[in-house]
A and B are shown apart, each in its own frame.
Chain A
Amino acid sequence: MAAAAAAGTLTGTVFNVQRASFHDGPGIRTTVFLKGCPLRCPWCHNPEGMSAAPEVLVSEMRCLHCGSCVAACPRPGGPLAAGSALGSAGCKACRHCADACPSGAREIAGRAWSVGEVLGEVLRDRLTYEESGGGVTFSGGEPLAQAEFLVACLDACREAGLHTAVDTCGFAGPAVVTEVAQRADLLLWDLKVLDRDRHLALTGAPLQPILENLAVAAGSGVPIWLRIPVIPGINDDEGTIRAAAHLAAATPSVRRVSLLPYHRTAAGKRTRLGRESAMAETPPPTEERMRALGVLFQETGIETTIGG
C-alpha cells in the first residue's frame, strides 16, 4: 500500500504527451513519451528523447531575436545554447528563458511528471479509447529506461481500466522486461538491424540482449507487435527484412508486424537541438519498396502493415 501511495507522487521525465495518436497501437491512443534512451540511432524520429536530462531546443526560424530569454536568465553567460542539458554549465534549471520566450522558439524538452499527473492527462480521452478500442502507449526515448516510473504508470492505468502498450527498443535488464511484460497489454517492439556488428555500430548497443529480452517477453504471453523502421541504405535490404520475418515467425507472441517508412520530420528537431542531421540526404523509402518488403512477411502468416 505504501508503494501504491508513493507511486502517485513518483515522477519521471516526460517530453511529450501526444493525444489522438493513430499509429502507436490499436484504436485512438494517447502516447506518453519518456525521456532518455540507451541507443543512439542516427535515424531516430525523436532525437529530443535520447538524452535523459531535459534539453534546450531553439527554433531559429521562430526566434524573434527580442532578447526576452536573455533578460529572463539569471545565468551570467545568458541562456544555454540549443542542445545543452538543462542545469549544465551553471544553468539554474529555472526555465525562465523558455517561459519568457514569446514565440515558443525556445523550449525545454522534458520535465518531471508525477504518475498522478500522467494518469490525469491520459484519462481525458477515455471516451475515445472506449469507442475506438484504444488506450495509452508509453514510448520514448526508451520507456524501460525509467522502469520504476513506467511500472507505476502501467499499474495506475490498469487500475483505471485503460489498455496499455509499451513501445520499446528492448534494450534493458531482463527483470525490467519481465516486469513490464506482466503489466502491459501490448508490447510494440522495435527492430532495427539483425546483424550483431552493424547493430552495435549503428545504434551503439549490442543486439544480443535485445533478442534475449524478446524471448523473455514472448514467454510471458503478452502480445507483441514488431515494428521495423525501414531506412534506405540501413535496413531496407531483403536480407535484413527476411531475417526479421524469420524472427517474427519464430517468436510465438508476435501478432503483427509494422513496417514504418523512415521520414525526415526529425530533421527539424535535430536543428533545434543544434545538431547536424547525419542522415539529411537519406530519402524516405518509396511506396513500392515498402510494399515489396511487406510481401516478404507473407509466409509468416502474421498480419503485416505499412505504417503504424
Chain B
Amino acid sequence: MNARTEKLRQESLDAIPTICSERAELMTEFYRENLGRWSPPVMRARAFRFLCERKTIWIGEGELIVGERGPRPKAVPTYPELTCHSLEDLHILDTRPLTWYRVTPQCLDAYEKTVIPYWRGRSLRDRMFDLLPAEWHAAYQAGVFTEFMEQRAPGHTVLDDKIYRKGMLDFKTDIARALAALDYASDPTAPDRREQLVAMDIACDTLILFAERHAALADKLAAETADPLRRSELERIAAVCRHVPAHAPRNLHEALQYYWFCHLGVITELNGWDAFNPGHLDQHLLPFYRKGLSDGTLTPEAARELLECFFVKFNNHPAPPKVGVTAAESGTYTDFANINIGGLLADGSDGSNEVSHLLLDIVDEMHLLQPSSNVQVSRKTPDALLKRALRVVRKGYGFPSLFNADVVVEEQLRQGKTLEDARAGGCSGCVEVGAFGKEAYILTGYFNLPKVLEVTLHDGVDPRTGVRLGPATGDAATFATFEDLFRAFELQLRHHIDVKIRGNQVIERLYAAEMPAPFLSVLTDDCITKGRDYNAGGARYNNTFIQAVGIGTITDSLAAIRRLVFEEKALSLTEVIAALDADFAGTETLRARLVNRMPKYGNDDDAADDLMLRVFDTAFHCIDGRPTAKGGTYRLEMLPTTCHIYFGSVCGATPDGRRATLPLSEGISPVQGADRRGPTAVFCSAAKMDHVKTGGTLLNMKFSPAILAGDEGIDRLAHLVRSYFRSDGHHVQFNVVSADTLRTAKADPEAHRGLIVRVAGYSDYFCDLSEALQDEIITRTEHAGF
C-alpha cells in the first residue's frame, strides 16, 4: 500500500457503521406521491431515479474510485419498501453487542414520524407474513428453516464481462431494439414486456445521471482545492465519470469505476443478498492492464493503487442491517462480494494471469473484511498460483477460500447450462455456484436437518414448545428397526421441505409481481431480450437453492442410534429420547459413550458416512428439480453462514451427544472435534457426498501455523487441496491460527481487534463473533502435526 491507500484503508476500518434514514425518507416521499401512477417495474425504475437524483453524493479525500451507497462510508441505508424497521428494531441495532449500527436521534425521528407511519403494513415483509400459511409460520418460528427474502431482496448474482464491452448507452440501444421487436398483435405479454423494457431504459439513464452527479461534485472539489495534484486527480475522476457508465471503459480506471457504479446501482435499487460481485475480476481487467502497460498509460504501481482504492470501497459497505432470525442466521457486516481469481476461460483454457497474482498481493497486503476473495483451482491452474494463494491463507485471515473450478463447471452442466456459460461462471457469496451475468441463483433459506430428526423422534411434535409441526409418523417406541426410524425421518423431511417450498412460492410471486429490479435486469442476460425482470424469471438460468445445515450432527446422531439401539441393543430408542429430553441430566455416562464411542462422520468410517450419504440423497430428492414460481428449479446446497449457531439454539440435545442449544456442525464439516483421523480422513468422508449434485458445499478446516511452516508446509497444503479436488470436493477453506491464540483473543478482545478468522463462507473479525461462535471455532478440530 502507498500512503494514499494506507490512509483510505485506515479510514474505512475506523468508520462507524450507522443507519442512515436518507434512502428511507426519499422512498417514502416518492411512494406517497406516486403510488399507483405506473406499473410496478416503471414505478421501481422511477424510484431508483428519484433516489439517485437526490441522494447525498460523497467523494472522500484522496479517493480515486468514487461513490457510496449512503451519504458517507459505512452509512447504511434501509429499504422500508421491503422491511420497515420498528423503533424497537432500531434500538436493537444500535445497542446489540455485535454487528451494531449506530442510530442517530434524527434517524429515529424520521422513522417515527415519516417512515413507519407510511410503510407499516405496506412493506413487502408485512404483506408476505400475512400471506404465508400458518404451517410455514410454525416451522419458521420453531427454527426448522429460515428465509433469506423476508428482509432482503433476491440477489445472489454476479456480473460477467458485459460492462467492459458495453456502456449504458449500448444497453439502451439493445432495449430500444427489443421494444421495437414487440409484437402487440400476436403476443399477449407484449404490454407487460414493454413496461419492463421501459423500466430498464430508465434504469440505464439513471446510472448515467448518477455518474454525472459525481463528475459535477469532482469538478466542484477540484475548483475548491489548493492542492494542484489533488485538483488533477479530481479532474481525472470527473472525466472518468463522464465517460463511464455511458460508454464502454477504455482503461483500468474507467473499468473499475464503471463496475463500482454498477455495484452501487444494484445495492441502491434493492438490498439484494448478496450485494453484488465483479466475478472474474482478473480475467475482466487483464486487457485494460496489459494495454495500459504497453501503451505507457499505466504502471504496475498505478494499477495496484487503483485496485486498492477499489477494494476499500467494498469495505465501506457493511451489509444492510438484519434483525430477528435473519440476523441470527447471518450475524456479520460482510455482504459477501466474493472476487473470483483464476478459474477457466470460456474456451476451457486456464484463466489465471498476472492480474490474478496482483489481486492476491492486494488481498494479502490489505486483508480487509470485504471484499471476500477466492481462488478457482482447476486441473489447469498452475501450482504457482495455488501456492501463492496458500501463502496468504497461511497468514490466517481465512481467505482466499479455494474452489474446484472443474467441479464448479460440472455442477452447472448438470443444471443444463452451456459449457461456455458454466466456465464463465464461478462462485459467489459463501460457496454458491452460478453462471455469472446470466443467472438468478437465489438462496431461499437454511434448513435445519437435525431439527427434523428431533421432530421425528417426537412423532411430529417440537419438544421445545409442544407444537405439532409435522404429521404423526409414529411413536419412537414402535420403531422395530432402524429402517422404520429412517422412513419416518424421510416423511418428516419431505413434509418440511414442502412447507418451505409452498411458502417460497408465495414469496417469489410477490417479488416477481411487485418488486422488480430493472437495473439488475439490465445487467443480467437475457432480461432485455425476454423483456422480463430478474425477479420474474428474466435471467437465462433461474435456480433457487435451499441450504441444508447440520449434516455432520444428523449423521452422527443417526449413526449413534443405529449402533446403540438397533445393533448393540444397549438401550431402547425411548430411553435415548428420554435422555435427550433431559439434556443428559443423570445420563452422563451415556453421553460420554455417544461422544466417544459411536461412529462419526469425518473419519472416513463407512459406519457413519453411509448415513451422511442417505440423508444427503434424501434431501436432494426432496428438493432437486422441483419447479419454482418464476419458472426456475429448486436445488440443494450445503452451507451454513452462521446459521448452525441459531439452528443449534433451537434444538434440544442430539443423539451424537451434543447438549441442547449448542451449535450444530457447519457446512459439510464434521461435528466440531469429532474428526480424529486427520485431514485426509475428513476429505475422504466429505468426498463421499456427490458434490456435483449441489450448488455448493462448504468445508472448513483448521490448521495450526506450525504444520504449514516453510515451503514444505505450503506444498503439503497444496497436495491436500489437489487430492480433495481430485475426488470432486467443491470447496475448502482454512483457519490457520492456533486454538491458544483464539483463546487469548477471546479473553482479551481489545488486543486482538484485527484478528480475522474464517467463519463459514466468509471471514470475520474474531472479536465481533458471538461467544458461542468463538467457542465453536476454538473447538473445531485443530489439525496439529502428526
Contacts and interface: CB of A to CB of B under 8 A. Distances in A.
A235 interface: no
B566 to A, nearest CB: 17
A64 interface: yes
A132 B589 contact: no
Interface stretch (B264-272, B332-340, B448-456, B592-600): B592-600
A102 B715 CA distance: 39
Contact of A64 (B592, B678, B681, B727): B592
B589 A131 contact: no
Interface stretch (B56-64, B171-179, B418-426, B716-724): B716-724
Interface in B760-778: none
Interface string A86-114: 00000000000000011110000000000
Interface stretch (A20-28, A38-46, A170-178, A237-245): A20-28
A19 interface: yes
B684 interface: yes
B786 A18 contact: yes
A68 B719 contact: no
Nearest to A66: B589
B377 to A, nearest CB: 12
Interface in A228-270: none
A22 B723 contact: no
Contacts of B590: 102
A140 to B, nearest CB: 16
Task: Say what secondary structure dominates the interface of chain A.
Answer: loop
B785 interface: yes
Contacts of B786: 18-23
A292 interface: no
Interface in A162-187: none
B404 to A, nearest CB: 13
Interface in A115-150: 124-125, 127-128, 130-132, 134
B707 interface: yes
Contacts of B785: 22-23
B604 interface: yes
A127 B726 CA distance: 8
Contact of B592 (A18, A103, A130): A103
A277 B609 CA distance: 40
Contact of B723 (A23, A64, A102, A128): A128
Contact of A68 (B589, B726, B727): B589
A64 B679 contact: no
Contact of B719 (A102, A104, A124, A128): A128
Contacts of B716: 22, 28, 132
B722 A131 contact: yes
Interface string A9-41: 000000000111111000110000000000000
B684 A103 contact: no
A28 B783 CA distance: 14
Counting chain B CB atoms within 10 Å of each CB, the highest count among A20, A27, A101, A103 belongs to: A20
Contacts of A132: 715-716, 719-720, 723
A303 to B, nearest CB: 13
Contacts of A134: 719
Nearest to A31: B786
Contacts of A102: 589-590, 592-593, 596-597
B603 to A, nearest CB: 9
Counting chain B CB atoms within 10 Å of each CB, the highest count among A27, A125, A128, A132 belongs to: A128
B7 interface: no
A20 B786 CA distance: 7
Contacts of A64: 588-589, 592
A167 B680 CA distance: 22
A146 B60 CA distance: 74
A124 B589 contact: no
Contacts of A22: 707, 716, 785-786
B678 A20 contact: yes
Contacts of B597: 101-102, 104
Contact of B679 (A20, A23, A127): A20
B614 interface: no
Contacts of B783: 20
A73 B710 CA distance: 50
B487 interface: no
Contacts of B726: 127, 131
Given A19-B681, A22-B785, A124-B684, A28 B719 contact: yes
A240 to B, nearest CB: 26
B165 interface: no
B414 interface: no
A18 B681 CA distance: 10
Contact of A27 (B678, B679, B681, B719): B719
B677 interface: yes
A174 B566 CA distance: 53
A128 B589 CA distance: 38
B218 to A, nearest CB: 52
B470 to A, nearest CB: 33
A193 B35 CA distance: 91
A128 B597 CA distance: 28
Nearest to B719: A132
Given A64-B592, A103-B596, A124 B604 contact: yes
Interface in A256-288: none
A77 to B, nearest CB: 23
A131 B719 contact: yes
A23 B592 CA distance: 33
A19 B596 contact: no
Counting chain A CB atoms within 10 Å of each CB, the highest count among B590, B597, B723 belongs to: B723
Nearest to A125: B680
Interface string B40-61: 0000000000000000000000
A97 to B, nearest CB: 13
Contacts of B723: 28, 125, 127-128, 130-132
B592 A28 contact: no
A23 B715 CA distance: 13
Contacts of A21: 786
Given A102-B590, A102-B593, A125-B684, A19 B677 contact: yes
Nearest to A20: B678
B601 to A, nearest CB: 15
Given A102-B597, A131-B722, A132-B716, A19 B592 contact: no
Given A104-B596, A131-B723, A20 B589 contact: no
Nearest to A30: B680
Contacts of A68: 589
A43 B588 CA distance: 37
Contact of B680 (A20, A23, A130): A20
A23 B683 CA distance: 20
Interface in B695-738: 707, 715-716, 719-720, 722-723, 726-727
A118 to B, nearest CB: 15
B4 to A, nearest CB: 41
Contacts of A103: 592-593, 596
A19 B680 contact: yes
Interface string B158-185: 0000000000000000000000000000
B575 to A, nearest CB: 15
B558 to A, nearest CB: 19
Contacts of B679: 20
A66 B596 CA distance: 15
A68 B719 CA distance: 43
Nearest to A24: B786
Q: Which 6 A-B pairs have the closest CB atoms?
A: A132-B719, A102-B593, A20-B678, A102-B592, A128-B723, A131-B723
17 contacts: A19-B677, A19-B680, A20-B677, A20-B720, A22-B785, A28-B719, A28-B723, A66-B589, A68-B589, A102-B590, A102-B592, A102-B597, A124-B604, A125-B684, A128-B720, A131-B723, A134-B719
Given A20-B786, A103-B592, A124-B681, 8 more contacts: A19-B681, A22-B786, A102-B592, A102-B593, A104-B597, A127-B727, A131-B719, A131-B722
Interface of A: 18-23, 27-28, 64, 66, 68, 101-104, 124-125, 127-128, 130-132, 134
